[in-house]
Every structure is written in C-alpha cells, then in structure tokens.
Amino acid sequence: MPGQGARRFMKNPRISASLLFAVLAATGPAAAQGIYDATFENRYDDFENRQTLNTFSGVAIDAGQYDQALSTLEQIIFTDPNDIPARVSIARIYYHVGSFDLALGHVNEALALGRGTSFENEIIELKRLIEKAESGVNAYLDVTGGIGYNWLQSESTLVPQTSGSGLGAFAYLDGLVEFDLQTASRDVLTLSGGASYVRGYADLDFDSNYESFDVGGGYGAITLSKGLPDLIDTLRVDLSAYGEISDLGADRIVQELGVRTRSNIRPSVETQLYVDLNYAWLGSSDGIFADNEYSYGLGVQQRLSPGWTAALYLGRSHRDGSVPAMPMGAGLSYDVASTEVEGSLTHLVHVFDDGRSWFQRISGGYVDGDILDYSTVGGLAPSTISREQWMLDWDHTVQMSTNSQVQLGAGYRHTTLGENGVNRTKTDAFNIRALYTYRFQ
C-alpha cells in the first residue's frame, strides 16, 4: 500500500548513479585484487621486513583473507612476542570468525602486556565482547536517529504537472537477544523487537496532492535458526513468527501477524542461495482493506573478489481483501499480485588502522503489479490500479567507533500508476538522508 511504500523509501538509505559508477570505475574488483596480489608477493620477497608484514596483514584483513592475515600476524608475534597491536588484531579476527576460545587466549596475552598503556581500554572492551559471545547469549539495542529531504514531481493525463518537497525525520529502536542452543547443528534462538517513527512527505492517496505524514509503529519476532546435522554450515532453515503494527495516520492502522521461513544453502564459501516463503494476516487492520498477503522469492549472494559482494533477488507477492459498498455505490473484492526484482553491489571501501570499516552499497530494483487504488476508496466504484516502479539507491556507511556508525544515502523512484489512458500518472521522487546509529551491548 502507498503508506508502506513511502515508509520504506524514507527508511532505507540509497544513491546517485553517476558518482557511484565513477567510484566503481576507479576502485573496482580488479584494482582491489591487484593491491592484494602485489602485497602478497612483497610479503614473501621481503619476509623479514616488519613494515612489509604489517602492510600485508592490513591489506589481507581488508580483502577478507583472514587465514593469510593470521599467518602473517603470527609471524610478527614469533619475531616480537610483546607486540600488543598484533595480538589484538589476531584476537579480533578469531572473534570475527567465531573462534572465541582462541580469541580469548590472545586477548588475555594482550591484556597482560597492555596494562597501563594506551591499548588497555580497547583490550578490556574486546575481552568483554569475546566473553559475552562465548557465554552463548548475545544482546544489543540499536538507537537510530536521522533526517532526510524529499522532492517529488508528477504528471498525469488529468492533472497538470505538480511538484512538492519536504523534510523528513527518522527514529528507530531495534533490539535483539540471541541464544546459542549449544547443539551440534549450531541452532540459535533469537528474540527481536523494536519501535519506529518516520516523518515523511509523499502522495499517499494517488491524488497528486503531496503532504507530510507521520508513521509510528512497532514489531516483535521470535526466530529459530536451525542447521541440519549432516550439512552443518551448508544448509540452514530460519523459522520466524512475528507481529507488527503501523499507524499511518488518516485512520489507517496496519496490524500484521505472520510467519516467515528462509532456507539457506552455501554451495561454496563465496556463494549463498536462499528461498523465502512468507504469510501475513492483515484482517484486523483499519483503513487498508486487506486480509491476507503471501510472498515467496529466491535470492543469491556472491562474493566476487576481496571486498566486493553482489546480490540478486526475485520475488512474487499476492494480496487479497475487500472494500465495503458505500450508499449508492458498489463494493469490491480484490486479489492482486506483483513481481519484484532487486540487485545490489556492496563494496568494502576501506578498513581503518583501528579496525573501523567504511562500506558503500548501490542497489536497483523494479516492481510491476496491481494494487488497491486508494483514491477510489469511499467513492461509487472502488478499483485496483496497475503500478510499475523503478528504484535506485546509494548508501555509504562509516563505522565511527566500535558501537556507532553514520549512514549517508540518496535514492530515486520512478513510479507509473495506471495503463495508457485517462488515469495514467507518472511520479519522480528523490530522497537524501543521513542517519546515526549507536549500539548498546
């Protein structure tokens, strides 16, 4: 429905194509691989040079080559057992890959060496995170706030060209508690929930009138992530039950209860395939005139080269509902469907000396299908309408500290409502936003 579409557009961070393609051309996968290959050769040609080893370990971590980074850092420690940064780096890598016992051993060594130095607080915090992960319970609370700006323009065969712009605001709380069930298949039980507020600007009723709107809501979910004992780390199934409520204003409240399943398979270390099956009951909602929604899809994620990952998703959704008849008017029972295609490219731009990271992500999508025409609800003949939408987004996420990050993005939407004829409307929407997130854990 339009309110939900506007909310998703305001919430997700996105991008500007020409600048991104310039960045990709300058720092593509081939360039990243070339840097890694060059430092790899230097690492063996000049294996006794400490600076060469330091440089290679940093590049290897940046490229995701953790085994090479570990062997290089261990060579540094063999040469100098009192090297605190090298021990901290090893502990972080083992923590990242889930080898908590090895991580704890190295962080304890680093702490024994680092008492009274500038590294002490960093080591103590890393040790706390490792011990927490080793206990089998992980929890965090993300607090996010941000602002955005929207500019929209539309034209139709009935209404002259109109445009509008407005400021937006965002506030999110997202919490999670994760329990390692200590099974051979590494099963995990997750409780998650949160609340959100969005101040947006859009044409919610397809009537070419732009207006500010407020969306408040909350959600909760319980998820069991289960692996199969014979295919550990290769095949997993995630089963979720969830509830969500969103107050869209104008007497529209979405109340959604549903179940989700995702089956993941990894044919190789670089490739992940997944299948989604979802069902949502919307019958207790107000003002959206929907009863049920079904969706299914197939996705793939592929690591192209160190620091570069591509993803592709193809999905299909169905929604049914009814609009009651008005006096002297007709009612409507409807069943609509839509198809969605989305692709993305994620790039690890840089890893700072202190371990912080900088990512960029470009994504594009296409949606084609039918929806309920809310501009006809309350009239003599409510109806559905075709919708076609193209989407492009660009985001940059920079980790500011261990627990905080800044996200900057821009997005573009081109939406066409109706077939060729008297009721056809085209809208172009642009959005920029900035968000800050702090994680308590």
Looking at residue 221, its pLDDT comes to: 98
Q: What is the mean pLDDT of residues 15-42?
A: 38
Q: Are strands 404-417 and 384-401 parallel, antiparallel or unpaired?
A: antiparallel
Written as six digits, the tokens of 251 are: 């007497």
* CATH fold of 46-133: 1.25.40
Name residues whose C-beta falls within 8 Å of residue 183's C-beta, 6 or more positions apart in sequence.
none
Phi/psi of residue 383, each to 5°?
-155, 170
**CATH code of the domain made up of 136-440:** 2.40.160.40
* Cα gap 116→129, rounded to integer Å: 21
* Residue ranges of the chain assigned to CATH 1.25.40.10: 46-133
Tokens 């339009």 belong to residue: 2
Residue 141 reports pLDDT greater than 70 = yes
Q: What is the pTM assigned to this prediction?
A: 0.73
344 to 21, 414, 431: CA distances (angstroms)? 13, 18, 18
Question: What confidence tens digit (pLDDT) does each residue in 380-399 have?
Answer: 788 899 999 999 999 999 99
399 sits in which H/E element: strand 384-401
Question: What confidence tens digit (pLDDT) does each residue in 318-374 have?
Answer: 999 999 877 766 788 999 999 999 999 999 888 777 667 899 999 999 999 999 888
Asked whether the beta carbons of 362 and 23 are under 8 A apart, the reply is no
Written as six digits, the tokens of 390 are: 């193209």
* Residue ranges of the chain assigned to CATH 2.40.160.40: 136-440
Q: What is the mean pLDDT of residues 119-125?
A: 83
Name residues whose C-beta falls within 8 Å of residue 220's C-beta, 6 or more positions apart in sequence.
191, 192, 193, 242, 243, 244
Q: What is the mean pLDDT of residues 36-43?
A: 43
User: Which has more confidence, 383 or 423?
Assistant: 383
Written as six digits, the tokens of 275 are: 């299948």
Looking at residue 280, its pLDDT comes to: 97
Question: What confidence tens digit (pLDDT) does each residue in 151-206 have?
Answer: 988 887 776 778 888 888 999 999 999 998 878 777 889 999 999 999 877 665 55
